[in-house]
Amino acid sequence: MIAFVWVAVWLGALVLGAGAVAAAGETERRWAAAGSLLVALVVSLGLAVATRGGGAPLVAGPLLVDSVSVTVAPAMLLGALALVLQAGRADASGSTLVWLLGALALESLALLAGSFALLALTEAAAAAFLATHAFRARRRAQGTYLLLAAALFSAAGGLTGAGPPSVLACGLAVAGALVRLGVFPCATGALSALGRELNLGTLLAALPFGGVLVLIRANQSLAASEALAWAHDLLLLSAPLAAALALTQRELGRSVGYLLAAVHALIALGALDPSATGQLGGELLWASTLLTASGFGAAASLVVLRIGDPDLSRHHGLHHNAPLLSLAFLILGMGLAGAPGTIDFIADDVLLSGASSEGLASMALVVITLALIGFNALRLQFRLFFGVSTPSRDYLRTKPRERLGLFLAMGAVVLGGLAPGLLPLVQAASGAH
């Protein structure tokens, strides 16, 4: 009963926040959204404490509260809060904030779904919701891929019904999740949108807010089965390929898009790993990426707000005018590559332990992917922030709310790396052993 009350307050804060944003004036919308996200974040943290993190899962009607949900939920909400604080004026004053809160409410419900059918159908609703927003913003390619994901999720949920999922239902759900995550070669929609504009609206649909739990549940339902081997092999190839393609891009948005595709492939690879260690690595990487990628994407969007779409074939020298943005871009970019001292380092270490049980080739491909991600993050850092500095301009400096968003993202990423024992997923794994 206590868990149900926590969940009701959490979801209610997001739904009521969307209504408050719609009714607020132009200058108050950002803070209404930030306030509702902050309330939901505090409640999700309270739920983690109330359930004692690594304890047994709690069932509240059709909802399930376990170590995955109480680890991923705060990361998802904190990442969204960082995005809102760093969003440009056009995003913060338009309807995008309403869509953000609505999508997060649906993804929160999916995160707490107690059955596979409810999970698949909720993910279908979230994907369709985001597709509608993409079409309204004339991002047709991204909207089309999201609709395809919604159709696959709906088919999986319809085939499952009240019973356990069949092999066909799991296969459809996994395909929908890979499309939803934009795993290469299904990244065309996200790449098109990010290449056109790098802002809150495009990042909302490109970041891994949904789809991963479907992979985890499908893997658990088909334990010791080879039915999902095709997805595992696809991910092993797509991750390093996407990371390599990121190095060839001259547009910041497309380079970020390929980086996200590579990281999402690693998350999915862990979620579908047959070993418990590999799956734990995928779950931890999902939570860490929600923080790191949200902060990194938001930092990249701040660059675009200041100098437009930068040409990555030359240097832009932004460090002198925006040193904090430069620092955040470096820390969060290296966090995506699993640099020591970040939460991603813990996740990648566990993921590599799981990959080692699959053989040397699997482990080598994961290592190559992480190396390429790190190399591209450094390439972007040097191209954007080094070189001849432009004359001092006030509009290039970060605003107080932007600095707050950058500090939140950086602080959470570093704190998780320095104190991983605070994460409920780690507590649950320690308790199991």
Both tokens of 140, joined, read 């047709």
CA pair distance 309, 306, nearest whole angstrom: 9
Query: What is the reported pLDDT for 334?
Result: 94
Q: Say what the pLDDT of residue 433 is.
A: 36
Tens digits of residue pLDDT in 95-105? 889 989 999 99
38-95 tens-digit pLDDT: 999 999 888 877 776 444 556 556 777 888 888 899 999 999 999 999 888 877 777 8
Q: Cβ distance 131 to 150 under 8 Å?
A: yes
- pLDDT tens profile 290-340: 999 999 999 999 999 888 888 888 888 888 888 899 999 999 999 999 999
Q: pLDDT > 70: what percent of the chain? A: 91
Percent of the chain's residues with pLDDT above 90: 48
Provide the mean pLDDT of the chain: 87
Q: Is 312 in contact with 256 (CB distance < 8 Å)?
A: no
pLDDT at 258 over 70: yes
Q: Kindly indicate the confidence band of residue 429, based on its pLDDT and cuts at 50, 70 and 90.
A: low
Distances (CA, A) of 154 to 120, 122, 177, 203, 208: 6, 9, 12, 24, 19
Read off the pLDDT of residues 117-147 as tens digits, 9 standing for 90 and up. 999 999 999 999 999 999 998 899 999 999 9
CA geometry: angle 415, 402, 190, nearest 5 deg? 85
Dist CA 432 CA 412 (whole Å): 26
Q: What is the pLDDT of residue 248?
A: 93
User: Can you state the angle between helices 167-181 and 252-271, rounded to 10 degrees?
Assistant: 150
Q: How far apart are the first and last CA of the chain?
A: 29
pLDDT value for 163: 74
Q: Is 398 left (phi over 0), alpha (psi -120 to 50) or beta?
A: beta
Query: Are the C-beta atoms of residues 253 and 195 closer than 8 Å to each other?
Result: yes
The span from the CA of 377 to the CA of 364, in Å, is 20
Q: What is the pLDDT of residues 372-393, one digit of tens each?
A: 999 999 999 999 998 776 665 6
Is pLDDT above 50 for 431? Answer: no
Q: What is the tens place of the pLDDT at every residue in 151-177?
A: 999 999 988 877 788 889 999 999 999
Say yes or no to pLDDT of 275 above 70. Answer: yes
| 65 strand-pairing partners | 58
φ, ψ dihedrals at 59, nearest 5°: -110, 125
pTM: 0.93
| pLDDT(181) > 70 | yes
How large is the average pLDDT for residues 246-256?
A: 93
Average pLDDT of the residues in 410-418: 88
